[in-house]
């Protein structure tokens, strides 16, 4: 399962808490933790300060209380706990799976379950609202999807086609045909 993970597991960046103006970045890959920092100051002694970077393996991060304290101060205790979990091997696999695989999983769910999953995160909201998902839902639940129906779906959206009853759908396809015939005639 770990082979499905991308190399970069987590990344966050931001400015330190006031009065600190320094900028920080935390990146966790499958093998190491990268801590980057940029000193931002108007004081003359810091004008030549170069950005810093610390790269350490996960085991070292789990034992480096000073770096953990810095992560907690800059990004908060939740980010520290999440980072420690990642370094301990506690991956949240589901949101890290490729979209094409998640779409196949969504195809096996009932619509009520899809709606619940949609509320889980922005990634799932985006996937559950995607045209790919709704096209898949229409094709799985309809007896036949004609070419004409596919053209209509590309115009109005697969989700709208899914929730439109057959009579309304036939009317819309008929209107679309009439528009196309009149455009071809002119």
111 and 139 co-located in one domain: yes
User: What are 145-153's contacts with CB under 8 Å, separation 24+?
Assistant: 148/173, 148/176, 148/177, 149/173, 151/176, 152/176
Mean pLDDT by 10 residues, the chain (186 residues): 66 86 92 92 73 94 96 94 91 78 88 88 90 86 78 83 73 78 69
28 and 84 co-located in one domain: yes
Final residue before a domain boundary, out of 57, 75, 94: 94
**For position 1, what pLDDT does the model report?**
45
Final residue before a domain boundary, out of 71, 94, 117: 94
The token pair at 143 is 């007896």
**For position 85, what pLDDT does the model report?**
92
Domain count, the chain: 2
Phi, psi of 176 (to 5 degrees): -60, -40
DSSP state of 131: H
Q: Give residues with Cβ within 8 angstroms of 1, minimum separation 6.
A: 93
Indicate whether this model's pTM tops 0.85.
no
10 and 22 co-located in one domain: yes
74 and 129 co-located in one domain: no
**For position 186, what pLDDT does the model report?**
59
78 and 30 co-located in one domain: yes
Domain that holds residue 63: 2-94
Final residue before a domain boundary, out of 41, 73, 94: 94
């Amino acid at each position: 399962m770990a082979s499905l993970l991308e190399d970069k597991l987590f990344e966050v960046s931001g400015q330190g808490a006031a009065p600190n103006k320094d900028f920080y970045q935390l990146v966790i890959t499958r093998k190491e933790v990268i801590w980057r920092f940029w000193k931002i100051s108007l004081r003359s002694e810091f004008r030549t300060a170069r950005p810093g970077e610390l790269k350490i393996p996960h085991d070292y991060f789990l034992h480096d209380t000073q770096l953990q304290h810095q992560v907690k101060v800059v990004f908060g205790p939740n980010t520290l706990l999440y980072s420690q979990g990642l370094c301990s091997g506690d991956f949240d696999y589901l949101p890290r799976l490729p979209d094409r695989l998640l779409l196949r999983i969504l195809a096996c769910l009932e619509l009520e379950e899809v709606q619940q999953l949609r509320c889980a995160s922005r990634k799932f909201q985006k996937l559950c609202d995607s045209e790919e998902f709704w096209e898949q839902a229409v094709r799985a639940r309809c007896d036949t999807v004609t070419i004409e129906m596919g053209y209509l779906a590309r115009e109005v959206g697969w989700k709208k086609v899914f929730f439109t009853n057959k009579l309304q759908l036939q009317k819309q396809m008929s209107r679309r045909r009439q528009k196309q015939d009149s455009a071809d005639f002119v």
